[in-house]
Amino acid sequence: MFNIIRSQNYTLRRDMVVWIVFITLIVTPFLIPQYMPELGAEGLTVSAYFATQAMDFYFFVIYFCALILSCKAVASDASDKTINYEFLAGHNRNRIFCGRMLTAFLWGVVIMWLFSLYPVLVYELIYGWGRETDRWGILFRITMTLFPLIRICAFNVLLASLLRSAGKGIAVSYAMLMAGSLVASVLQELYNKDIILELGLTNMLWLISPGNHRNVVIDGKSITVFDTALSTEMTVKTIIISLTLAMVYILLAYAEFKRRDRD
Amino acid sequence: MRENVVEVNKLTKQYGKHKALDEVSFTIRKGSIVGLIGPNGAGKTTIMKILGGLAFPTGGEMKLYGAADEKGLNHARTRMSFMIETPYEKKNMTARENLEKQRLQKGIPDKKRIDEVLDIVDLKDTGKKAVKNFSLGMKQRLGLANALLGKPELMILDEPTNGLDPEGIVEIRELFRKLNKDEDITIVISSHILSELSLLCTDYIFINNGRIKGIFTSDELKAACSEYYLIDTDNNERAGAILTNDCGIGRLEVMEDGKIRIYDGLDDIRSISKKLYENGVIPTELSLNEVNLEDYYMKLVKDSEGKDV
């Protein structure tokens, strides 16, 4: 299994798309302020980054990058059939599946999650944290995004594995995200209820968006302070639903991988 | 008698209603070079895929190095190497990078092995050239390098000389011969280029429509591809009866054009022609010929339609 992971890592490190993804993730936090003048009004602090929802946009980028990397880790070599050489080398199907799944989690969850800390770290070092948000509340929220990332990654493992193509996996995953968001919005309108939040299905953006805020006067200056504390309900739902769905997706992917002939 | 490295018994593979393999049985002895011969769609690649664990059989059983259970089969595959359908290649990587990826995947500790196999297949000077810029022949060589990387005891190769120029074919043939002789590597090669295999193989398995049509050793095939007399007369129907009844010819074949091939009594052709003449049949053609491998294969496929070995 570790040989499979090492081999896949070797391939991904030499993939041009992976480098484009990394460059995008490195550059994006610095591009966002160019298009959000309100971000610079009070200084580019980490708090301002969250308060103006610039972080939402960055997480949207992370979502797509996680989608690309996880699909590539699972099935980048399925269309040219070079994946077959892992079977032919005598690795059993469990090990091949686990090796590829863990590679997908390494690139799609661990590395992406580390990237989610990157703008926080950079802005903290350059501009400081700011007053609008609580540091530990925000860091806890970022930590919690690990769970939706696991679910998203597991879903992409399933799609890429079923479709046997990284490209098709990326396309279908994106299409399903759009369709899912549309359906959720319609249901939300119909029932006038926050379905996305209730189900905890697509809640990665909710986690990094501190919602409630109030104006306070500090040192004679009016400041909008955000309530960064995450409710217990949201925390529990995020963990349980993300892990349960991830487990279901992985089991479905495994069942297909274990039983189906390779082309 | 050397051990069997592959034993296949009534192996069947069905895709929907189509039977890609129909109760195929054969064995492969250690140290042999086996030619798996059949036209496109005959079932050659399906056999290789099942041996390699890419496809599951729907019936029958197989043993690799005596192992029949999943764990044993996978362990046996670590002693084997395969090149099926397409040679190994990640198009944007160099030959060396491709082999490094495979080295990591196979868990081969010795990095120098990459240089050795690149040297063997004559790709050591490709440098930073990406595989996408390789010719088909170079890709085939890279596939062979990958197959040799793990020092296999058994190599299963699907059309390995496809795309090679005549000089390359000779080189690869010599390489196979050398690997077989010096390192005792058993080799299974599928091909439809029969003449090429006839210069190399020690055993032959003929397959068509998912069924085995014949299994021969090299000597048996040479005997089968024997000489014959082609006889044409003014009355071939009567000639056939005379040859069978009066001359005692056992192996006789009437061709589509009515001409007769006899495989027995070749040393006594003078008395055979005399017997025909005495019975009022005038021979108009009497020539000594030889069946080549292609002829024999075509005959085998045609004769055994519906019949299995």
Distance (Å) from the alpha carbon of B88 to chain A's nearest alpha carbon: 6
Do B175 and B41 lie in a common domain?
Answer: yes
Mean pLDDT of B145-150: 90
Beta carbons within 10 angstroms of residue B14's beta carbon: 14
Strands B211-217 and B4-15: unpaired
Say which CATH number the domain at B246 has: 3.30.70.100
Domain span at B95: 4-222
Give the residue among A196, A198, A95, A106 at the shortest CA–CA distance from A153.
A106
Domain boundary pick from B196, B222, B248: B222
Q: Model's pTM, two decimal places? A: 0.80
- Tell me the per-residue pLDDT of A66-82, one tens digit each, with 9 for 90 and over: 999 999 888 888 877 88
Q: At what angle do helices A166-191 and A54-75 cross, to 10 degrees?
A: 140
Distance (Å) from the alpha carbon of A104 to chain B's nearest alpha carbon: 16
Do B196 and B151 lie in a common domain?
Answer: yes
Interchain contact A81–B (C-beta under 8 A):
yes
β partners of residue B36: B190, B205
What per-residue confidence (pLDDT) applies to B276? 87
Tell whether the model's pLDDT for residue B167 goes beyond 60. yes
Contact B87, B140 (CB under 8 A): yes
What per-residue confidence (pLDDT) applies to B244? 87
What are the DSSP E strand ranges found in chain B?
A: 4-15, 18-29, 33-37, 59-64, 80-83, 154-158, 186-191, 203-208, 211-217, 227-233, 252-254, 260-262, 283-290
Mean pLDDT of B212-235: 83
Three-state SS for A148?
helix
Mean pLDDT of B69-77: 91
A interface test, pick of B54, B99, B139, B149 with most A CB neighbours within 10 Å: B54
β partners of residue A217: A222
CB contact under 8 A, B89 and A4: no
Distance (Å) from the alpha carbon of B34 to chain A's nearest alpha carbon: 19
Tokens of B131: 């595989």
Q: Which residue of B has its CA nearest to A83?
A: B88
Domain boundary pick from B205, B222, B239: B222
Chain A residues whose beta carbon lies within 8 Å of the beta carbon of residue B88: 82, 85
Do B239 and B208 lie in a common domain?
Answer: no
Tell whether the model's pLDDT for residue B247 goes beyond 90. no
Interchain contact A73–B (C-beta under 8 A):
no
Beta carbons within 10 angstroms of residue A51's beta carbon: 24
Contact A86, A121 (CB under 8 A): no
**Which distant-in-sequence residues (6+ apart) come within 8 Å of A125 by Cβ?**
none
Do B189 and B205 lie in a common domain?
Answer: yes
Lowest mean pLDDT among B13-17, B24-28, B192-196, B262-266: B192-196
Q: In what order do the strands lie in the sheet with B203-208?
A: B80-83, B154-158, B186-191, B33-37, B203-208, B211-217
Nearest CB to A77 within list B54, B90, B146: B90
Confidence class of residue A189 from pLDDT cuts 50, 70 and 90?
confident
B interface test, pick of A85, A261, A262 with most B CB neighbours within 10 Å: A85
Lowest mean pLDDT among B49-58, B153-162, B194-203: B194-203
Lowest mean pLDDT among A165-169, B66-70, B112-116, B198-202: B198-202
Interchain contact B158–A (C-beta under 8 A):
no
Tell whether the model's pLDDT for residue B308 goes beyond 70. no
State the number of CA atoms in the 13 A half-sphere of A200 facing the CB: 22
Domain boundary pick from B222, B249, B276: B222
Do B148 and B256 lie in a common domain?
Answer: no
Mean pLDDT, chain B, integer: 85
Measured distance CA(B27)–CA(B30) in Å, rounded: 10
Mean pLDDT of B284-292: 82
What per-residue confidence (pLDDT) applies to A254? 94
Do B263 and B212 lie in a common domain?
Answer: no
Measured distance CA(A66)–CA(A113) in Å, rounded: 9
Q: Whats the size of chain B, residue-wise?
A: 309
Quick check: ipTM above 0.85?
no
Do B264 and B283 lie in a common domain?
Answer: yes
Measured distance CA(B62)–CA(B50) in Å, rounded: 9
Domain extents for chain A? Answer: 2-259
B23 — alpha (psi -120 to 50), left (phi > 0) or beta?
left
Mean pLDDT of B148-169: 86
Residue B275 placed within a domain: yes
Tell whether the model's pLDDT for residue B291 goes beyond 80. no
Residue that the structure tokens 């302020």 belong to:
A33
Residue B308 placed within a domain: no
Residue B211 placed within a domain: yes
Interchain contact B152–A (C-beta under 8 A):
no
What per-residue confidence (pLDDT) applies to A198? 47
What per-residue confidence (pLDDT) applies to A41? 54
Give the residue among B291, B305, B203, B200 at the shortest CA–CA distance from B251.
B291
Lowest mean pLDDT among B133-137, B151-155, B188-192: B133-137
Contact B243, B252 (CB under 8 A): yes
What per-residue confidence (pLDDT) applies to B61? 92
Question: How many distinct structural domains can be found in chain B?
Answer: 2
What per-residue confidence (pLDDT) applies to A38? 67
β partners of residue B211: B208
Interchain contact B18–A (C-beta under 8 A):
no
More confident residue, B244 or B267: B244
More confident residue, A197 or A142: A142
Lowest mean pLDDT among A188-202, A206-220, B223-237: A188-202
Three-state SS for B277?
helix
Do B102 and B153 lie in a common domain?
Answer: yes
